[in-house]
Homo-oligomer: A and B are copies of this chain.
Amino acid sequence: MLFAVKMDVHLPADMDPDVKADILAREKAYSQKLQKSGVWPHIWRCAGQYSNLSVLDVDDNDRLHEVLSQLPLFPYMNIEVTPLATHPSDIALLEQDS
């Protein structure tokens, strides 16, 4: 089940550089582990923003919250979630029919 997730990052201006580097490294590792496992199939940078648009593939809403709330950057993010359904014009439906 897919969800579009827009994540805006707001780091405090006076954040300790080592703390910041550590969080960003853990965020990257966490994201890549989920990408490899298929939970996080798409991640794009919104050009000119400290934001990403992602698509997550999870079994249910509880799992969605678990995945997002464990993001190392979660306390510094503003997050918007949009549940996605199959679009009736999606050509993947044509392939299923055939």
Question: Measuring CB to CB, which residues of chain A are less than 8 angstroms from any residue of chain B?
Answer: 1-5, 11-14, 27-28, 31-32, 35-36, 42-50, 52-53, 55, 60-62, 64-66, 68-69, 74-76, 79-91, 94
Main secondary structure of the interface of A (DSSP, over half): mixed
- Whether B48 and A84, one on each chain, are in contact in the complex, defined by CB atoms closer than 8 angstroms, is no
Could you tell me the distance between the alpha carbons of A44 and B87 in the complex, rounded to whole angstroms? 5
- Whether A83 and B13, one on each chain, are in contact in the complex, defined by CB atoms closer than 8 angstroms, is no
A14 nearest CB neighbor, chain B only: B12
- Whether A13 and B75, one on each chain, are in contact in the complex, defined by CB atoms closer than 8 angstroms, is yes
A80 nearest CB neighbor, chain B only: B48
* Known contacts A13-B76, A49-B81, A66-B85; 10 further A-B pairs (Cβ under 8 A): A1-B62, A2-B44, A11-B75, A44-B84, A44-B86, A47-B64, A49-B79, A50-B74, A53-B82, A64-B83
